[in-house]
Structure 1
Amino acid sequence: MRVFAHHLYEYNKGLRRLVLHTTRMEYCDAIIAKLERRRISYIIQDVTETKMNIFFGADYCIEVLKTFPHLNLRKL
């Protein structure tokens, strides 16, 4: 969660418009709660049974990601 907190800090300071954060599934609910509380757009992608990617950032960045037909990074 420390890395997520740092990513969130950088996003809030305007250093990043889009963040890709990979973490364990057990942190999913806490991360979603923080993003929704701050009204930050996000997309979640399962990586494995125990890990997930969460993209978060500016609305326009997330909207662009939603246009990708397959957002699975392992298949790129």
Structure 2
Amino acid sequence: MTTQLSEIHSTELKVFMNHIYEFKKGVRRMVLYTVNRKYEALAVDRLRRQNIDFMVQPVDSRKVNLFFGRSECIHAIRRMVTRPLNQLTPEEDFILGAMLGYDICAQCERYCLRKSRGTS
């Protein structure tokens, strides 16, 4: 692709670049970013050039989930996220949220709610 990431000024890619910045500064250890497929190659190229480990998960015909961050986190994601995110068990959902740095108390509430509903 001849278009460079720096030449594209979409809001979507600006948010992506901010996630990379936060990861490199240590604010985040792992990021989950849902991106339009038309930007997938550019995003993956940027992650490769910056030696950031990542995993791409298709969402639908228009979007992909892009997990990126510390290698040990991405290694665990590759083992755990083997199906769409809405099909994760309550336990897997809890672990994923914790890995992404979500509020632990909110994750506990979400987990208990899902368990009480019997969702898996």
TM-score tier after normalising by the smaller chain length: over 0.9
Name the structure 2 match of 1:5. Answer: 17
Task: Flag structure 1 segments of 5+ consecutive residues without an equivalent.
Answer: none
2:44 partner letter: I
Question: What is the TM-score of this pair, normalised by structure 1?
Answer: 0.93
- Bigger fraction of residues in helix: 2
Q: 1:55 aligns with which of 67, 72, 91?
A: 67
Identity, in percent, stands at 36
Task: Flag structure 2 segments of 5+ consecutive residues without an equivalent.
Answer: 1-12, 89-120
Structure number with greater Rg is 2
Q: Distance in 1 between matches of 2:75 and 2:51?
A: 15
Question: What is the TM-score of this pair, normalised by structure 2?
Answer: 0.60
- Bigger fraction of residues in strand: 1
Q: What stretches of structure 1 move > 2 A for 4+ residues in a row? A: none
Matched, 1:19 2:31: yes
Higher RCO (C-alpha under 8 Å, 6+ residues apart): 1
